[in-house]
Amino acid sequence: MVRAFGAAFVAALLSVFVVAAPAAPAAPPEVAARAWLLVDAEDGEVLASRRPKRSYPVASTTKLMTAYVARERLGLGQTVVAPAYVATTAESLLGLTEGERIEVRDLLYGLILASGNDAAVALAEAAAGSEAAFVRRMNRAAKGLALDDTSYANPIGLDEPGNFSSARDLVDLTLELREDRVFRRIFDAPEAVLRSGARSRTVVNRNNLVHTVPYVNGVKTGYTLGAGNVLVGSAERDGVQLVSAVLGAPSESERDAATLELLDYGFSLYERRRVLSDRERLAAPGVRWQDETLPLLSAQAVRLTVRRDQEIDVRVAAPGEVEGPVDRGERLGRATVTLDGEPAERVALLAARSVGEATVLERFDAAVPGSRVIAWGIAVGGLALLFAGALALYDRRRRGGSVDLPRA
């Protein structure tokens, strides 16, 4: 049983800078591309950029918005009838035949992994009745997501006036898509087997980095003569999720190299820090009626992967005073680890030892100031009187006379 007194459950703010100020990080890389952007997916912090708000043709990364709108309008298990699609030379296709029935889930895999232009048109017509109506929905969605540097003219990403975006908007759209675990699964798939169409198909992710780099988990490639090589990338390492966009790289290899250089630079800005040790003493409230304190210990260690410019604090909420009985290991508060002021981890505070219930004498002593001095004075005075009486009695017996005993 525990009671809190006085200030009740006192929030004792304990700011702990876990490590000394780190050395300044290396400068962001300069990569071979028209524009690029790298952000922390957790807090949106920009880690590196060049022309992030300038609009360019973005080729098949347009299909990210196609996927977004189709997902809003269509169920994953819904069956779509493929429309006729006349492809030009060198288009990327899923290989649909007119009238083929295929599920939306498979079309999304074909849209993102294989970058199928026919899959984009099939989804557009199923979701809005026509490509033109679907493009209007794409532009309304862009406005709703505050993608101010973006405009769509087709659901595929073909070079066409009015079809463009920016590195900033592509990253923001990707962050929105990554909120959906269906898209996270699609982006990270090296390949997929599609079984719902007229025939079974195996589609392979055109993003080579998903195949070759273990920590890369997306997102979408693109290429046209007007856009050059485009790649929206994403990666996770030690709990840190980054999203990048590279626009207008001269070649696929330079596009991939630029993306990896940005992602590796981003990860270099983070480090693993021990914020709290297991059973670390974080508070010591007084024990009522007893002249002692009770140490409160962290229930577990806390380690965080943090960016070098982020501030870590530990805020301790614990009683200002406790009253026994208290069991060893009893929970008596909480420590909250904050990262740039936002809660990152919470840990219980545990009693380091047991505390017994206060005795009557301890309560009396605590309630009456100086009570022990008074009690000792009374005891000493009583003993003095007894000693004096004993001396008088002895003297009387020795002399055979009488004597008046001193009275207390």
SS3 content of the chain, % helix, strand, coil (to 5): 30, 30, 40
* Nearest of 17, 1, 11, 8 to residue 334 by alpha carbon: 11
Candidates 90, 124, 130; CA nearest to 107 is 124
Beta partners for residue 249, in sequence order: 229
Query: What CA–CA distance (Å, rounded) separates 219 from 61?
Result: 9
Query: What are 239's two structure tokens?
Result: 């709990």
151 counts as catalytic = no
HSE-CB for 36 with a 13 A CA cutoff: 27
Catalytic residue among 49, 55, 63, 92: 63
Q: Are 188 and 168 in contact (CB under 8 A)?
A: no
DSSP string of 165-222?
B-HHHHHHHHHHHTTSHHHHHHHT-SEEEE-SSSS-EEEE-S-HHHHH-TTEEEEEEE
Strand 286-287, strand 321-322: pairing: parallel
Integer Cα distance of 396 and 351 in angstroms: 63
Sorted by sequence, the CB contacts under 8 Å of residue 358 that are 6+ apart come out as 288, 289, 290, 323, 324, 366
Catalytic choice (60, 92, 234, 244): 60
Is 244 one of the annotated active-site residues of the chain? Answer: no
Calculate ∠ Cα 332-334-338, nearest 5°.
Answer: 170
Omega within 30 of 0 (cis) for the link into 219: yes
In the numeric block, which tokens belong to residue 16? 């702990």
Pairing mode of beta strands 35-40, 9-14? unpaired
Choosing from 49, 55, 92, 115, the catalytic residue is: 115
Asked if 115 is an active-site residue, the reply is yes
Query: Catalytic positions, please?
Result: 60, 63, 115
